Each structure stands twice: as structure tokens, then as C-alpha cells.
Chains A and B, each alone.
Chain A
Amino acid sequence: MKPIESLLGNSRWLLAPTVPAVVAGVAVSATYALVTLSMSATQAFRLTAVATAVSGSLLLIGLAVAQDRLRPLSRLAEGLLPPSPRHLDEAARAVLAAPDVSFSATLFFFSGGAALSSLIWQQWTRVDSTTALRMGLIAVTVAPVSAVLANLLMLPRGRVVLDRLLKLGLEPSRLLEGQPPRLELGRRLGFFAGVAVLAPFVLVVDLSLARSRELSRALAAAGEKGAAEVLANASGASSLLPVVLLGGLVLVMVLGASWLAGDAIGVPLSALARHTERVAAGAPDAKDIVAAEHETFNAALALATLEKSLTEVAERVAGASHGIGAATQDLAHGVSKQEKGAAQQSAALAETTATTEELARSARQIATNASRVADLARRALESATSGKGAASAFAVSMRHVREGHQAIADAVVRLNKRVQQVSRIVGFIDGINDRSELLALNAELEGNKAGEVGRGFSLVAAEMRRLSESVMESTREIGRLLNDIRDATNAAVMATEAGVKASDLGANLAQSASEALERIVTFSQQTSDAMQSVNMATLQQQSGTDQLVQAMSGILTSTKSGVEASGQIGTTNQQLEALSKALDGATARLRGGS
């Protein structure tokens, strides 16, 4: 957990006033002892050393004890405890109890320290027991003053820390239980006043007695002759100066304690007064609590409780007032809408009456138009029937076209087969011609080998070879022609197939058109029948419209009565709304102007 910045070091800061209070007490006691007790320089030095050592040690012990009592606050500040309501409450209790703890510790350790210092000083300096006892008595007399001083100095700081705890979410109502009930404010003030009066009184009495004894001894020692001188010395400025200084110091302490005591009561009372004025002015804040002690703090908590109750009551009244206001506004709005709606309704009814009369005229017109539409439907039926016949004839024609295309395709296929047969024959002729050409070539070769004898044979063979070459050229030409025919027949086959598909599509379209026309014929028949029904319904509508006009007249009269009643409700609502606003104004002030 993270440390709480606002509380870090608060416990040490809270206890810090104890130190000056104790130091002031020790200083007064030591000074008083030095002034009133007759002692040597060595004894004075030893007294100072003992008082310093003992008071310093006991002060540290007392601070440690008080610091331990403030442990809930320091642990909360360091983040060792979560700032839960329980831990905040424990810390607040410790803070509230801290001044009293400091008072008790200062009183105890100061008195104990005085006794211890006297004892040590007596043993160390070997002074008589009466002097040592007086020394202790002086310190014990000053101890309550120091304790009261420490208590009063801590009170304002305690309020500051308590205020910080309240800001961290401390629940104020729980603090009532945390209030230490030991001393009430009146008894506490009485005690402080007693200390403020008794301490100087005791010191003054002691000083007077000491001076008296010292003067008596001086007079007895001086005799009658020196008495005047002794008395002159005793009343001299040098003799009175320490006494005056000591009296001034005691006076300052007592006045300071008195001023702090008054402040301890006055400051929270002033804050309470300001807080009450703020409540009276209509700006309550139940969370803003005056940090104080004892009855003053009880009063602050009671005031906070009162503020809380007032705010709750005001909020409830305001809620009720708002509810009334909202309901009144809704009612007024509803009445307004009702008035507006009734006016619109009246206008609409008048308009509806006129429309109804127009409707009767329209019904007659509709009957006439329905008759015309029936005639048109009959004509459409005749046209559709005629179209259906044409579509059927078109379908038959398309079938014939398809058959013609199919016949062409078959013929082209047959032609293609013939062309292939011719190609094979031409190939066969080509082979024979090749062999003939080879034979002629060999014959010509043999004729040449035979020389002059075979010349004639060679010439014949050469002529045969040329014939073979001519035949070969012719067969090549026939082959090219056959290839052209094959390409043409393939194109014809593809064209006839496309024609067959187109004729199929046309036949299907013709069939679809025929079926569509058949449906049109059916629909036309139904339309004619429906128009007859419409004509009959229009006549009945005419009768109903007359009755509707009479009913509309009655509704119009009722609507006017409703508008008048709405006006009266609106007036009543305005009065109710004014009352609600007045109530709102009254509760807003009670709730703190919210």
C-alpha cells in the first residue's frame, strides 16, 4: 500500500509541543531554585547538570511512550494499514487521546524527574535534606504547569490531524464512542485554573518564607547596628531583580497557559458559530465537521447530524415536490395535447364528412368505370385467343423448319462420307501411279543401258513416265478439291446444326407464348368476373357512406364538449403547478440551495 502523504510525520509533529513545555518547566524550576536556594557555584552547576540529564532522559522516555500510543496513526500514514473505517477510527481515537496522554506523561515524568534530580543532587553535593526537599517541591509545583502547557499546545495540532482523518473518510458518528470521557470541559477548565493559580501561589509563599528566613538570619547576625544596612540590602534592586525576573517568568507561563486554554475553547466555538451561520444561510454540509474536543466536539457532531437530518428531510420534501411538479406538468402537457388533439379531431371530422360525400359520388363513377373495364377485358380475351392460334401456327412452322435443317444435315453427312471414299480411291490411284512411274523409270534406265538397241524402248518408257507424272499432278489437284469439299461440308454441318438449335428455340418460344396467351385468357375471364363483383360492392358502399355521414355528425358534437372540459382541467393544473414551484423554492433553501 502507498503511504498517505497528508499523515506522514503527523505523530511526531503532534507530540513536538511537549518538548518546549517541559523545557520551560525545567528552566523555571532551575531558575527558581538558583534564585531562592543559597548554594555555591559548584552546587548550582551540579544542579543544572543533574536537572538537564534527568529531564532530557525522562523526556525521551515520555515521548517514546506517547509515540507508542499514536502507533495506529503512524502505521496508517506509512501505508502499513489500509485507510478503512476501522483503522481511521483507531487513529482518530489515538489523536483525540494524545493531549491527555501528553499531560499525564509530562506530569508523571516531570514529578518523578524532580524527585530523582533532588535525590541525585543531594547525594552528589551533600546538601541538607531540607534544601533537597524544597528543590523537589519546587519542581513538583511547576510540573502541572508544564503538563497543562503541553496539553494546550497539542490541542490545535490534534484538531488539524483530526481534520485530515475526516477528509480521508473518517465516519464522524463513530467518534462519539472514541471521545475519552474522563474529564468534561468544565472540570478540565477548573483544573487548569487551579493549576494556574496554585502554582504561582505556592512559589510565592515559598519565596516569601525563604526570604523571611534569610532576612531573619541576616538581622540576627548583624545585630541592631547593622539591621538598617541589612534591610537596605534586602530591599535593593540587586536583591529584588532575580525575584522580579522569576515572577515574570512564572507570570508568562501562567498567562500563556491561560491564553492557550481560552483559545482551546474559543477557536472551535468560533468555527461552530461560522458553521451554524452557514447552515442558517442555507448552505449546509454534513461532511464538513468542526474538529474539536470534548463537549465542543460533541456539539459539532450533533450539528453535523442535524444538518444531515435536515438535508434528508429537505431532499424528501423536494423529491415529493418534484414529483408533484412533474406530474402536474405531465398532466398539463397531456391536457394540452388532448385539447390540440380534440381540435384536430374536430377539423378532421368535418373534413371526413365532406370526404364521405365525395366518396358516394366516386362509388357511382367506379361502377361506370368497372363496366368499361369488363368490356375491355372481354376484348383482351378475344385478342389473346387469336394470338394463341397464331402462336400455335408459328410453332408448327418452326417444327417444319427444324425438320428441313435436319434433312440438310443428314445429306451433308452423307456427302462427307462420299468425299472420304473418293479420297481413298484417289490415294489408291496415286499409289498405283507411283509404282507405274517407278516402273517407267527403271524401263527407261534399262533402255539406256541397252544403248542404241534400247533407245526406242527408252523413249516409250520416258513417255509413260511423263504420263504418270501428269496423272500424279491430276490426283494432287483432285486431293486439293476434295479437301475444299470436306471443309465446305464441315461448315455446312455446323450451320445446319445451328439452324436446328435456332428452330428448336423458336419452337419453344412459340410454345411459351401460346401458354402465356392461355393464361392471359384465363386472367381476363377472372378480371371480368371481379369487375362485376366490384360493381355490386360499390352499390353497398354508397349505402354505408350515408350512414357514416350521420355518425360523423354525432362524433363532432361530442368532441366539442371534450375540448371545453380539457380547458377547465388546464386551469386547475396551472394552479397546481404554481403551488409545486412555491414548495420547490422552500425546500431548495432547506437543502442548501441545491
Chain B
Amino acid sequence: MQRTLEGLVLCWVGPHRFAVHANGVGSIADVGAEAPWAGRAFEATEARPALSRGLLLGDAAVAVDRLDIFTQPCPVYATPELCGPGAGLEGFVLAQGELWPLVSVPGLFRYLSEAR
């Protein structure tokens, strides 16, 4: 049976994008330079934009360029074996007609902190 998720936070960083489950986000706030920018997960050398929003969950915080909240139910696809655990990738969701990588804020935060 196809698994679905309802309530996603769709995030854009540079030319890339990913999705976070709304329940995995504590709050949304303006963040400073202390929070790692999610874009670096895709391109290590890309500079962080001046204006950004932060996804907060406990001690973890990840900055993104832009975000939106998507409330429709979306099908979830499991992560292929080839991808491995990586940056907290939890699968893929189909939203707005496109496939989005589904990540968790703590996992992405940990990955970015280790890569610093």
C-alpha cells in the first residue's frame, strides 16, 4: 500500500529544492550565520544568500532561501539502496507534480555541521 504524507514544508536553495515533513519542523524563523545553509548540501562552494528563512527543531537549525507550506496529501517513495543514509534522506514525495527529496532537519543539520 502506497504511503502518503500530509503537511510538507517545500524548501528552495539556489537551483535546488527539497521537502521536510511539517511535523519535523519546530518553527520557522529568521536565522543568522550560525545556522548552516542547506544549499551547501548540494554545492559546497555556493555562497549563502543574504535573506533566508530557518527551519528550527530543537538545537538543529537549517537556513533555506525560500519556503512554502504544502497541505495536500502526497505519496512517499522509499530511498533507493544506492543512495545510502547520506544527509538524512528519508525518501521522495510527489508534490505539485514534481518529485521532492524528503529530508529531516536534524539529519540535514548534522550532515552540514560535519561538512563544515
Judge whether B28 and A438 touch: CB under 8 Å: yes
Residue-wise, chain A 425-461 has the 8 Å CB interface mask toward B (1 for contact) of 0000000001000100110110011010001001000
Query: In this complex, what residue of A is CB-closest to B30?
Result: A438
How many angstroms between the C-alpha atoms of A432 and B28 in the bound complex? 16
Check B29 for interface membership: any CB of A closer than 8 A. yes
Judge whether A449 and B67 touch: CB under 8 Å: no
Query: In this complex, what residue of A is CB-closest to B27?
Result: A442
- Report if A455-B30 is in contact (Cβ < 8 Å); known contacts: A445-B22, A445-B25, A448-B22: no
Residue-wise, chain B 53-75 has the 8 Å CB interface mask toward A (1 for contact) of 10000000000000101010000
- Report if A448-B67 is in contact (Cβ < 8 Å); known contacts: A438-B28, A438-B29: no
- Report if A462-B69 is in contact (Cβ < 8 Å); known contacts: A448-B22, A449-B23: yes
Nearest CB of B to A396, in Å = 58
Judge whether A458 and B28 touch: CB under 8 Å: no
How many angstroms between the C-alpha atoms of A448 and B69 in the bound complex? 9
Residue-wise, chain B 27-41 has the 8 Å CB interface mask toward A (1 for contact) of 111100000000000
Judge whether B7 and A441 touch: CB under 8 Å: no
Query: In this complex, what residue of B is CB-closest to A444?
Result: B69
Nearest CB of A to B51, in Å = 9
Check B94 for interface membership: any CB of A closer than 8 A. no
- Report if A449-B22 is in contact (Cβ < 8 Å); known contacts: A444-B69, A455-B71: yes
How many angstroms between the C-alpha atoms of A444 and B71 in the bound complex? 9
Chain B residues lying within 8 Å of A455, measured Cβ to Cβ, are 71
Nearest CB of A to B76, in Å = 16
Nearest CB of B to A356, in Å = 104
Chain B residues lying within 8 Å of A462, measured Cβ to Cβ, are 69, 71
Check B9 for interface membership: any CB of A closer than 8 A. yes
Query: In this complex, what residue of A is CB-closest to B56?
Result: A442
Nearest CB of B to A496, in Å = 38
Query: In this complex, what residue of B is CB-closest to A450?
Result: B7
Complex interface residues of chain B between 1 and 40 (CB less than 8 A to chain A): 6-7, 9, 22-23, 25, 27-30
Chain A residues lying within 8 Å of B9, measured Cβ to Cβ, are 445
How many angstroms between the C-alpha atoms of A584 and B115 in the bound complex? 130
Chain A residues lying within 8 Å of B28, measured Cβ to Cβ, are 438, 441-442, 445
How many angstroms between the C-alpha atoms of A445 and B11 in the bound complex? 13
Q: Which residues of B are interface residues toward A (Cβ below 8 A)?
A: 6-7, 9, 22-23, 25, 27-30, 53, 67, 69, 71
Other than A445-B9, A458-B71, give 6 A-B pairs with Cβ distance below 8 A: A434-B30, A438-B29, A442-B28, A445-B69, A449-B7, A462-B71
3 A-B pairs with least C-beta separation: A448-B7, A448-B22, A444-B69
